[in-house]
Amino acid sequence: MKKTSSDSLPSKQKYKPMPENSLLISPIYAYSDNYIWCISNDKQQAWVVDPGHAGVVETHLKNNNLSLEGILITHHHWDHITGISELTKHRDIPVYGPDSEKIQEITHPLYEGNTLSVFNRKISVIEVPGHTKDHIAYLLSDENAPNALFCGDTLFSAGCGRLFDGTIHQLYASLNTLSTLNNDTKVYCTHEYTLANLEFAQAADPNNDAIKQEMIRVNALDLNTTPSIPTTIEKEKAINPFLRCDQLSVQQTVTRAKQLTADNITEEEYFIALRQWKDTF
């Protein structure tokens, strides 16, 4: 998917009149494959998640007549935080995120089990280290719609984030935690990696019909205008090999690919081998 990082990047979606007390979650395209998620209400107010580029956020806000009320950050990587300073320069708004010395603009550091309210919806904080050691996710609860998970770079459609300053054991535990969320939870990750991830998923789980069907669906999309996400927890448990290390089909393929010879290999050890395989795929 080819995008631009220019400040003149047009908004991809014009808002339609919204039902009272409803929320809209919209993508703002940035860089080559980033999504900045915009949560807005019927009063033309908005929060953004991981604004790595201020210009495209400002364009989206202006084109849709939205006022920015706050910012949510999942982790410290530059493509998730670079826009914070510019967006807060002339706005007195809160910036929530992990307690990280690498994100100086955070006004409200968050930890596992903390909650906050956005547009009268409860958002729960889940610590999901692995991709980075300071990574958190946000679970938005909504009585009028399925829950929404903003998981940064921890869980992708058909994949997961690679390791930077976290550990493989942390990543395994974090993905297991996310897999226990309600099946209908919508998953809003921050990169359009789905096609590449599905190619690896097919290699890791070659007889999985759900992966084949998802490949057909995503190949039919124009990813320059239509994201492949959100996905759901239910779908990810069907297509994502990193959530399927308990399945014999994945275990057998990983064993062959990585030439595993030990007996009594644990699911976590299969996961480790799978992540190593993906790193060089």
Measured N-to-C along each axis, helices 267-279 and 168-179 cross at an angle, to the nearest 10 degrees, of 110
Tell how far CA 39 is from the center of its chain: 14
Task: Summarize the confidence of residues 156-176 as an average pLDDT.
Answer: 98
8 A C-beta contact, residue 79 and residue 158: no
Cα separations in angstroms, 243 against 45, 101, 143, 212, 219: 36, 31, 27, 17, 23
Three-state DSSP at 238 gives: helix
At residue 20, the pLDDT reads 77
Under the banding of pLDDT at 50, 70 and 90, the label for residue 19 is: confident
Domains contained in the chain, CATH given: 23-279 (3.60.15.10)
Give the pLDDT band (50/70/90) at residue 11: very low
Choose among 275, 230, 218: nearest CA to 49: 230
Asked whether 192 and 33 are in contact (CB, 8 A), the reply is yes
Q: Write down the pLDDT at residue 116.
A: 98
Measured distance CA(63)–CA(170) in Å, rounded? 40
Q: How far apart are CA 42 and CA 16, in angstroms?
A: 10
pTM of the model: 0.93
Please report, as a single letter, which amino acid is at residue 150: F
pLDDT in tens, 58-80: 999 999 999 999 999 999 999 99
Tokens of 190: 């921050």
CA-wise closest residue to 198 among 258, 281, 129: 281
| Tens digit of each residue's pLDDT (9 = 90 or more) over 124-165 | 999 999 999 999 999 999 988 999 999 999 999 999 999 999
**pLDDT for res 2:** 40
Q: How far apart are CA 249 and CA 201, in angstroms?
A: 12
In angstroms, rounded to a whole number, what is the distance separating the alpha carbons of residues 229 and 243? 17
220-259 tens-digit pLDDT = 999 999 999 999 999 999 999 999 999 999 999 999 999 9
Q: How far, in Å, CA of 228 to CA of 242, rounded? A: 19
